[in-house]
Every structure is written in C-alpha cells, then in structure tokens.
Structure 1
Amino acid sequence: MLSTIQHMVAFLFGYQTTVSSDTITVTEDNYTLKGKIAPRFHNEGNTDVSILNVTVKPGEMFNCSANNFSMKGSINIIMPDGGKVVCIYNSLHKKDC
C-alpha cells in the first residue's frame, strides 16, 4: 500500500527514479549516502572488505537500504589493496519538462 501511494505521489508531482552505480577501489572514511535510495554494495574484488564494520567477502552483497526513502549521512568502507566494491542505488529526480 505504501509503495503504491509513493508511486502515485511521484507521478503526480513529476518525479522519476534513475539507477546509478559507483565503483570504490580505495578506503572511504565518509562515503556519502545522501540522495541514494536502496544502496546495495557488491564486493567484486578478491579480498574481504569492511562496510560499516561488517566483513563482506568476495562475491557477497551488503544491503544498506531504506527502500523507497532517500538516505543521508555517510558510512566507512575499509578497502585493502586490490579491493573493489560496486554500489548500486536509485535516486529521485524531477522530470524534465
């Protein structure tokens, strides 16, 4: 029900979402979540990484999402040499007129 209401509000006020990704290969002490909706972190490297003090093994995913809500704040990502994390997220934008 909430999802349906949110979609109707977005449609009526002229908003749309887009999907984007960031590739992270170095330690980020303050990786921003500002404006990101449902960010998911995929460890695409060959070593363990630490995201928000959680160990994420190669091939695993860390879900840091508040579905349907734009986030704020930042998190730490500790990346050893050779690490690679891809963050996939949505963001809300006013439609072009």
Structure 2
Amino acid sequence: MSHLIDYIKVYLFGYQTTVHAHTIKQTEDNYSLEGKIAPRFHNEGETDVIILNITVKPGEMFNCSANTFFMQGNINIIMSDDRDKNKLVCIYNSLQEKKDC
C-alpha cells in the first residue's frame, strides 16, 4: 500500500527522481539502502568485493534493486584491506520534490 502512495506522490504532487552515486572504499558492515531506488553496485577497483555473499569481480556489476520501489534495510559489503585498490560505486535513484522555476 505504501508503494501506491509513493506513486501517487510522484504523479500528482510533482515529484521527480534524481540519480546519485556513492563511492565506497572500505568494508561496510551495515551499508544503508534506505530510500534508494534501484541501487546498482559497480566494482571499479582492482580487488574482489563481496556483497550479500556474492563475489563481484573488478569490472562487474551487482544489481540489488527492486525497480521503482524504495529500498529498506542494510547490507554487508566486504572489501580487501587495501583501500587504494578498492572502489565500489553505488548508483541509485531517489525521489525529490520538484521546485518551481
């Protein structure tokens, strides 16, 4: 039911989605997905990354989304101790109220 309310807000009350990127360089025990829409993780580093017990090799992507729905909860992201070789980028959308011009 809450997702229906979100759709009503988007279409009737002037909301829009915006895209964001967040770079992660070290292990995150509780990376928050709260409010993210369609989060995708891109391993742009030189080392393997483990997300939800799945190994994501350099150059690979991990899709953690339920398209068009706001995510909730946290996930564990495990990276090597070498921060200089780690680079995981989370691309996601969020809902923003449109501003009048």
TM-score range, shorter chain: 0.7 to 0.9
User: Matched residue of 2:18: which SS?
Assistant: strand
Query: What is the letter of the counterpart of residue 40 of structure 1?
Result: R
Residues 1:88 and 2:91 aligned together = yes
**Number of residues paired by the alignment?**
91
Query: What is the letter of the counterpart of residue 96 of structure 2?
Result: H
User: Matched residue of 2:76: which SS?
Assistant: strand
- Within 2, Cα distance between the matches of 1:35 and 1:9? 15
Residues 1:48 and 2:51 aligned together = no
Listed as ranges, the gaps of 5+ residues in structure 2 are: 1-6
- Structure 1 segments (4+ residues) deviating >6 Å: none
TM-score (norm 1): 0.88
- Within 1, Cα distance between the matches of 2:46 and 2:26? 14
- Within 2, Cα distance between the matches of 1:52 and 1:38? 16
- Within 1, Cα distance between the matches of 2:43 and 2:96? 28
Report % sequence identity: 70
* CA apart distance, 1:9: 5.6
Q: What RMSD in Å do the two structures reach over aligned CA positions?
A: 1.3
Provide the residue aligned with 2:4 in structure 1. none
Listed as ranges, the gaps of 5+ residues in structure 1 are: 1-5
Query: What is the letter of the counterpart of residue 44 of structure 1?
Result: E
Provide the residue aligned with 1:3 in structure 2. none
- Within 2, Cα distance between the matches of 1:27 and 1:9? 35
